[in-house]
Amino acid sequence: MNKVLTKILLCAATGGVLAGCFSGNDAPEIAQGTAMFDSFYYEGMDSYYKENPLPDEQSFYTPILPGWYSDPSICTNGKGDYFLVTSTFTYFPGVPIFHSRDLVNWKQVGHVLSRPSQLVNMENQHVSGGIFAPAISYNPHNETYYMITTNVGAGNFYVKTKDPFGEWSDPIRVPQVGGIDPSFFFDEDGKAYVVNNDDAPDFKAEYDGHRTIRVQEFDWKNDKMVGPRKILVNKGVHPEEKPIWIEGPHMYKINGKYYLMDAEGGTSENHSEVIFRSDSPWGPFVPWDKNPILTQRHLDPNRPNPITCAGHADILQTPEGDWWGVFLACRPIDNKFENLGRETFLMPVQWSEDGFPYFTQGDEEIPMIGRREGVVRGEEVTFGNFTVSEEFNDSVLGMQWMTLRGPATNLYSLTQTPGYLTLKCAEKSAKERGVPALVCRRMQHHNFTTSTRMYFDPANSNEKAGLMLFKDETHQYFMAVSQSEEGRIISLIKVNGDEERVISTNKLPQDAVCFDLLVYSEGTSYEFAYSLDKGNNWTSLAVGVSANHLSTAEAGGFTGTTIALHATSR
């Protein structure tokens, strides 16, 4: 018997969570043209965490946010509160915000961009468009939090709040700031600045990836940019080597000196983080002679548990005086591909004898286990292996659920039939740039099991509903129930570019309306299975399905893969 079914039967025999994740409700009344999801379950089973248990209660695994949580930015109010945000591109709501009191135990407390008025011009953008590299900052002069970011379809803007646990303002546009990746710096003297990635001087790039870092003063009392813009870095640390994609800048003032930290080398295997120093926020900024301060690009690709693509960092000092930083990196399987996307890592920051901060030097590897003295790891953490069980009993979706390009509240409901997530078979599908009837969560482990119970009675051959692994519009696996000319069927559909290919199809009883759908991942391959009797007996639909199809290595883009509940009439 295959691994999925063996595991399911083992869990059922031992009273495991897979058997217990379903509510066991009687079949609901199924409205025409809708699919009803009774439950969702996810269990991470990565071998690294099993084979390397944490040595003590002050230790933690990193990434602290596994799965697609890219471009992290962090700030503190100096009173013991830390806030962290990451990119969301065209997903809604935008920019999850996490809170911690100790940098180890994190909890999502909301989204910065929670309203459609904050996310405009999304509908025609590719999944990897939308919101790039949010940067969160705290201004002690007015005790206000700021988040500034790029909307690829609408330019740069920021929002602000005095209560990061609550709502943020509508967007305040900054058309004077071009390019991408803006961030605020609030100086001790009350002045403020925006630094960002922008075009080459006079828009005359000498090579592909030639960019600059620029600065402009920001009048926070009147919410506007003022004065001239100035180039701080042209090309990168070693201009003679034609470095690419200097971006993701952050400015800090430390011990009377100004530090400018940037990503360099692009976000793939050559990614790195570099540092410059100056006596003024206007420069000149001199690069450290031991740059980069973070990279893994030169290490042996055959090393165990490789971490790659490290860069795009942000740092801060704790009230205790130590320094820590967050950054993005990837965990490819055998250094070949991964489907998790760029994840958020946490590491202590060290200081050189000549006064520069750094994460790694030489052949130092990014560790997957960290430790912070004096901090006790809580029972509920965001890292390592964990399980998620969802019964859809609330009137609103949990914070980790997302839709595409808009709220989609006209396409799903948690109140139409309480206890179920109801999805309409929408005219838009996940293959199109629009707002489909799709509700999803991030894939967060290489090895995992995920399942859902669905009630669905398709009326015609156009209606499909089921469980999807979604990378973007052109890279998907969809395990869908539908109606064919020969009767009711369940199929595994592979979307590859404009092509849609059925990998496997099984006939179902025409009166079947209750379906348990399950995916088991071994990291490099997936197995898809289903049950018609609420998990007592399972049938494998497809085995050994290539996971590479959903990887960034094959599909490109800036996101990771999500696990989606989807219904469509297309």
Q: Could you please report the per-residue DSSP string of 196-248? A: EEEPSGGG--SSTT--EEEEEEEETTTTEEEEEEEEEEES-S-GGG-----EE
Choose the final residue of a domain: 371, 396, 419: 371
Tokens linked to 310: 């490290």
pLDDT of amino acid 334: 82
What is the C-alpha to C-alpha distance for residues 312 and 428, in angstroms, rounded to an integer?
A: 35
Q: Is residue 532 part of a domain?
A: yes
Task: Check whether 1 has a pLDDT greater than 50.
Answer: no
Model confidence at 23: pLDDT above 90 = no
Q: Say which CATH number the domain at 531 has.
A: 2.60.120.200
pLDDT digits (tens, 9 = 90+) for 363-373: 999 999 999 99
The 3 state secondary structure assigned to 433-465 is CCCCEEEEEECCCCEEEEEEEEEECCCCCCCEE
Mean of per-residue pLDDT scores for the chain: 94
Q: Is the pLDDT of residue 26 over 80?
A: no
**Residue finishing a domain among 371, 393, 417:** 371
Per the structure, the complete domain to which residue 405 belongs is given by 3-46+385-568
d(CA 358, CA 325): 9
461 and 339, same structural domain? no
State the Cα–Cα distance between residues 292 and 361, nearest whole angstrom.
8
Q: How does residue 5 score in pLDDT terms, banded at 50, 70 and 90?
A: low
> Which is catalytic among the residues 43, 46, 71, 463?
71
Q: Which one of 51, 241, 373, 485 is the catalytic residue?
A: 241
Number of H helices, E strands in the chain: 4, 39
Rounded Cα–Cα distance for residues 65 and 342 (Å): 10
Domain assignment present for 380? no
Q: Does position 397 have pLDDT exceeding 80, yes or no? A: yes
Q: Is residue 559 pLDDT above 80, yes or no?
A: yes
Q: Is a pLDDT exceeding 80 seen at residue 433?
A: yes
Query: What is this structure's pTM?
Result: 0.95
**Residue 25 pLDDT > 80, yes or no?**
no
Place of tokens 């599909």: 555
Alpha-carbon distances, residue 366 vs 369, 411, 500 (angstroms): 9, 43, 40
Q: Give 94's strand partners.
A: 113
Q: Which two tokens stand for residue 102?
A: 């100790």
- Which token pair is 290? 């031991």
Q: What is the pLDDT of residue 18?
A: 44
Residue 144 pLDDT: 98
What integer is the mean pLDDT of 268-294?
97
What percent of the chain stands above pLDDT 90?
93
Catalytic residue status for 379: no
Q: Which of 351, 329, 144 has the alpha carbon at shortest distance from 254?
A: 351
Is residue 12's pLDDT more than 70? no
Given this model, what pLDDT does residue 118 score?
97
Do residues 530 and 518 touch, judged by C-beta distance below 8 A?
yes
pLDDT bracket for residue 376 (50, 70, 90)? very high
User: Does 378 reside within a domain?
Assistant: no
* Residue 13 pLDDT exceeds 70: no
CATH number for the domain that contains residue 63: 2.115.10.20
CA distance 198 to 211: 6
What's the confidence (pLDDT) of residue 27?
A: 76
Is 320 a member of any domain? yes
Identify whether 377 is part of a domain.
no
Q: Which two tokens stand for residue 177?
A: 């700031």
**Domains: count for the chain:** 2
226 & 115 share domain: yes
Tell me: pLDDT of 275 over 60: yes
Residues in the chain: 570
18 shares its domain with 104:
no
92, part of any domain: yes
Residue 527 included in any domain = yes
For residue 89, is it left (φ>0), alpha (ψ between -120 and 50) or beta?
A: left
Does 71 qualify as catalytic in the annotation? Answer: yes
Same structural domain, 288 and 222 = yes
- Quick one: 141 and 232 in the same domain? yes
Mean of the pLDDT values across residues 7-22? Answer: 42
Q: What is the pLDDT of residue 453?
A: 98
Instruction: Looking at the structure, tell me whether residues 329 and 415 fall in a common domain.
Output: no
Question: What sign for the dihedral angle of Cα 274, 126, 446, 40?
Answer: positive
- Confidence tier at 240 by pLDDT (50, 70, 90): very high
pLDDT of residue 313: 98
* 398 and 302 within one domain: no
Q: What is the pLDDT of residues 136-195, one digit of tens each?
A: 999 999 999 999 999 999 999 999 999 999 999 999 999 999 999 999 999 999 999 999
**Higher model confidence: residue 7 or residue 290?**
290
Whether residue 316 is found in the same domain as residue 192: yes
Task: Tell me what pLDDT residue 24 has.
Answer: 41
Kindly state whether residues 271 and 406 are assigned to the same domain: no
Residue 379 lies in a domain: no
Do 8 and 111 have their domain in common?
no
pLDDT confidence tier of residue 570, bands split at 50, 70 and 90 = confident
Confidence category of residue 431, pLDDT binned at 50, 70, 90: very high
The helix/strand/coil state of 112 is strand
Residues whose CB is less than 8 angstroms from the CB of residue 218 and which lie 6 or more positions away in sequence, other chains included: 184, 192, 193, 194, 224, 225, 226
Are residues 163 and 295 part of one domain?
Answer: yes
The 10s digit of each residue's pLDDT in 313-339 is: 999 999 999 999 999 999 999 888 999
> Which of 322, 347, 371 delimits the end of a domain?
371
Residue type, 291: N
Q: Do 462 and 338 share a domain, yes or no?
A: no
33-85: pLDDT as tens digits: 999 999 999 999 999 999 999 999 999 999 999 999 999 999 999 999 999 99
Q: Please, are residues 421 and 412 in contact by the beta-carbon 8 Å criterion? A: yes
Mean pLDDT across 217-245: 97
